[in-house]
């Protein structure tokens, strides 16, 4: 079941929005959307509260099949992916997304040890072995936000070929 937790549907995910939180000191931060694929409701709840409390859009799915459809529909900026899921593996999720031509920066969040071969095959941006400190997850999310800011900056700057300087 796909659950939207604290998602603000009225905001454009590409729009920079000021989120009034003590740690960002009123600076404009990109609206980052995150899809977590996790079958442990306790972990999902802890992550959800930490991320929505910081102004991120958060969606969650506990099944691989629903996760693929959610990723296709939502096109999140970051995928937090467990490997051991009730219906299929997290690796199957990544394979199906790749078959559809969809690439989403993915952080593997799992108790399963990730082999070097899997890292080479799927190139996750991070691997957080469970249990993980929430600070480690927040660093991964902050890195994803920085990548989005960088990408948005490149889109908004005119290229030299298009008459920009």
pLDDT tens-digit readout, 59-107:
999 999 999 999 999 999 999 999 999 999 999 999 999 999 999 999 9
Within the chain, how many helices (H) and strands (E) appear? Answer: 5, 8
The predicted pLDDT at position 3 comes to: 35
Mean pLDDT of the residues in the chain? 83
More confident residue, 35 or 162: 35
The predicted pLDDT at position 30 comes to: 54
Count of beta carbons in the 10 Å neighbourhood of residue 48: 21
* Band of pLDDT at residue 13, cut at 50, 70 and 90: very low
Q: Residue 32: pLDDT above 90?
A: yes
The pLDDT tens digits for 125-151 are 999 999 999 999 999 999 999 998 888
C-alpha closest to that of 91 among 69, 70, 117: 117
Domain 3-156 CATH assignment equals 3.40.50.2300: yes
The predicted pLDDT at position 19 comes to: 43
- In this structure, the strands spanning 57-61 and 3-5 are antiparallel
C-alpha closest to that of 107 among 122, 124, 130: 124
pTM (2 decimals)?
A: 0.77
The predicted pLDDT at position 101 comes to: 96
Whole-number Å distance between alpha carbons of 24 and 65: 36
Whole-number Å distance between alpha carbons of 119 and 108: 10
Q: Residue 28: pLDDT above 70?
A: no
Count of beta carbons in the 10 Å neighbourhood of residue 62: 20
Residue 59 near residue 34 (C-beta atoms within 8 A): yes
């Amino acid at each position: 079941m796909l659950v939207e937790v604290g998602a603000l549907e009225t905001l454009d995910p590409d729009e920079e929005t000021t989120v009034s939180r003590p740690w960002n000191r009123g600076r404009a931060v990109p609206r980052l959307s995150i899809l977590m694929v996790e079958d442990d409701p306790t972990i999902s709840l802890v992550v959800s509260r930490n991320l929505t409390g910081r102004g991120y859009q958060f969606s969650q799915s506990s099944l691989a099949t629903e996760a693929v459809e959610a990723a296709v529909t939502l096109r999140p900026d970051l995928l937090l992916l467990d490997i051991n899921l009730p219906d299929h593996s997290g690796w199957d999720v990544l394979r199906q997304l790749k078959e559809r031509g969809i690439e989403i920066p993915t952080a593997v969040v799992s108790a399963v040890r990730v082999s070097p071969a899997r890292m080479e095959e799927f190139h996750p941006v991070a691997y957080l072995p469970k249990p993980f400190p929430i600070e480690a997850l927040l660093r991964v999310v902050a890195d994803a936000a920085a990548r989005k800011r960088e990408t948005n900056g490149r889109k908004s700057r005119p290229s030299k070929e298009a008459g920009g300087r």
